[in-house]
A = this chain, B = another copy of it.
Amino acid sequence: MSTSEPATRARASARPVEALFAPRSVAVLGASDDVLKWGNWLARGALRGAHRRPAYLVNRRAATVLGQTAFPSLSALPGPADLVVIAVPASGLDAAVDDALAAGARAIVAITASSHDTPDAAAAQAALAARVQVAGAVLLGPNCLGVMDAGEQLELATADLPAGAIGLISQSGNLALELALLAARDGLGFSRFASLGNQADLGATELVGALAAHEPTTLIALYLEDFRDGRAFARAAHDAVAAGKPVVALAIAGGAVTARAVASHTGALASDDAAIDAALRAAGVHRVRTPQELIDACSVLLRCRPMAGRRVAVLADGGGHGSIAAAESERHGLALPELSAALCRRLRTELPAVAAVANPVDLAGGAERDVHVFDRIAHTVLDSGEVDGLLVTGYFGGYAESGPEVAAEELRAAGMISAVATATRRPIVVHTMFGAGAAAATLRDAGVPVYATIEQATAALHRLAPRPDPAEIPSLPVPATPITASAAGHDERAQQLLAAGGVPFVASRVVGADTADVLAAADELGYPVALKALGPLHKSDAGAVVLGLGHATALRAAYAELVSRLGPQRFFVQRMAPLADGIELLIGVRWDPRLGPVALAGAGGLYAEVLRDTAVALAPVDQRRACALIASLRIAPLLAGARGRPPLDLDAAAQALSALSRVAAAHPELAELEVNPLLVLPSGALALDARFVHVPEEH
């Protein structure tokens, strides 16, 4: 568990990542005439770029490959090999990498899988990567599908990728293939592609940096199973987004991290998936769940400017499509405002009497008389400023079936729809049931995203809605002196640790097993109090706590009962908190092996795991972000005062969360640290209970 941020950043700036995409020369090790071998694909790809750079084919036995001179080894090449692609059997990988380094390669692509299918595989790959790094080179793979750069005509990937503006980084070969097919169908393509493979050396972080700096790449797409250093990755993605390049990521939880035992609510609720969400949200990355969603997101982000707000209009030719698109838009959190009376009057002059115009706008057959009602209505609606974007849904693209004149007008209307989006600076997204037709193609070519289903179109439009500003990816503090693992005094230590860090606790005292001491503590704290038996007992032991002791007599009786039943050596005397006056929250941090400390706020007490009403962010969180996190909970309205109750102290709750997150971030040895409940009161917030869980020992 190490973040190794400074190392990563320093390394990234100095390393020859560009040699991977824009090498001065290329050598294919294992070039082959056998069409079933990858060395054949790669050799052909290298030769297609031979007018741009020397392409050397290396084969130990053959004198020629693909009709070209083949060289028996890298040392026999007539010139230097800037980029070496290795497609030899696994057993030859180590030697091939060493040969490449000896030949002066600055970049190596290891298509070959690692042969280290042993418990030592990770160590062997690390050793390989170390040799590459010492030599000042970079290695992609092993076990990857290669690299591509459209502008450089570098085609060293085992998948055919159409050219375009997307920089793609993928950890799965078949997935890259599917993305290529889906992109081509949508008229999109790729500027660069790197297949990650095992990420022995080069990982997603450095490659995102390279794509962010690559001018022809205007959007970065990723498929990732393992973030490695997740904070470094988030920072690189954040920088790319800040530089104006949207990042879309399909990230799988639990791909590399084995399932873990969790011991606290925070551990259960701040899941791997939630942690990934938090990291990608902080970086401003669009997260998607499937390949189609990824390409759909690329289409709308490449083709449209963002919306200034969440207000959209739906334009349909038929009430059914309008209703469905409206419902789907609202499901995505978009708003369909009723259009103003003045605007409705203007729309009505264009449409049949039975048309609905208030939003959705239903052409009601108006386009059958003149297909240009689409572009005219689109202009009127968007130019009004009453909405931030427009969804056209249904039949557009099908009027062509009425004959060649109408077909021609429909193509012109498609062009004019695009012009409306440009002129009004507001996006138009189209769903058509004729997605394979000419009008759809014209729209796409003119920069209007077109989708085959209503659900894709509405999901795409919602990606253009305003998003929270990306957070700075928080840096981690210098680790504090570790808390040692030990059963005794657990709760006290958790409380001490957090109280010292600025988390306010309800007043309490720890005293020995002595009646006078217990009574004195209660007098000092003020009644009513709670009494808890401490010591070798586990806190969850039934009956170790007695609540609501209103006076000394009750306290004496509870004390005597606990002593006789549990024989504790010490007691915890706590002022009873005014539970009925406030709301209970859960606040906590889980240390994720990839993403570091992840802060969680949620409904607390009885409701914590039942409601799963939680919000998660990379820790530490400052006061502002802690506020936003708590305010995003479903139960947040209760903090504003419900049923005539006074508003509760959100600021104090946020302060407690922020303080807890700072403490946790300084204690990587604690896998989980939580306060539950945190009682938020009209004035202030009080932690009532705290606990931590150590990172399990490695074995």
Contact = CB atoms under 8 A, between A and B. Distances in A.
Contacts of A320: 170-175, 223, 225, 252
* Chain B CB within 10 Å, residue with most, of A174, A319, A394: A174
A478 B90 CA distance: 81
Contact of A611 (B113, B225, B395, B611): B611
B319 A225 contact: yes
B117 A290 contact: no
Interface stretch (A58-66, A130-138, A637-645): A637-645
Nearest to A402: B36
Interface in A325-366: 327-328, 331, 353-354
B327 A178 contact: no
A327 B610 contact: no
A182 B455 CA distance: 14
B252 A327 contact: yes
Contact of A328 (B290, B395, B606): B290
Interface residues of A, number: 60
A274 interface: no
Interface string A167-201: 00011111101100110000000000000000000
Given A323-B252, A433-B177, A638 B610 contact: yes
B644 A178 contact: no
A173 B145 CA distance: 48
Give the copy number. Answer: 2
Given A172-B318, A320-B174, A644 B542 contact: yes
A324 B252 contact: yes
Contacts of A8: none
A291 interface: yes
Contact of A175 (B117, B173, B178, B321): B321
A427 to B, nearest CB: 21
A318 B606 contact: no
Contact of A610 (B182, B290, B331, B642): B642
A181 B635 contact: no
Contacts of A113: 354
A268 interface: no
A40 to B, nearest CB: 13
B455 A293 contact: yes
Interface string A397-418: 0100010000000000000000
A634 B324 CA distance: 28
A253 interface: yes
Chain B CB within 10 A, most for which of A321, A453, A634: A453
A656 to B, nearest CB: 21
Given A290-B453, A290-B454, A319-B225, A174 B606 contact: no
A506 interface: no
Interface in A414-467: 433-434, 452-455
A292 interface: yes
A634 B610 contact: yes
Contacts of A99: none
A613 interface: yes
A317 interface: yes
A638 B290 contact: no
A621 to B, nearest CB: 23
B321 A174 contact: yes
Interface string A270-291: 0000000000000000000111
A319 B252 CA distance: 11
Contact of A635 (B354, B454, B610, B643): B610
Interface in A226-251: 250
Contacts of A225: 319-320, 323
A643 B402 CA distance: 69
25 contacts: A36-B402, A113-B354, A170-B320, A174-B317, A174-B394, A174-B433, A175-B320, A181-B434, A225-B319, A252-B327, A289-B327, A289-B328, A289-B331, A290-B453, A290-B455, A291-B324, A291-B453, A291-B454, A292-B453, A292-B454, A292-B455, A606-B638, A607-B638, A611-B611, A611-B613
Given A36-B402, A250-B324, A252-B320, 9 more contacts: A171-B320, A174-B394, A178-B433, A181-B434, A223-B320, A253-B327, A292-B452, A292-B455, A607-B635
**Can you list the 7 inter-chain pairs with the closest CB atoms, starting with the nearest?**
A172-B320, A174-B318, A175-B320, A292-B453, A178-B433, A252-B323, A290-B454
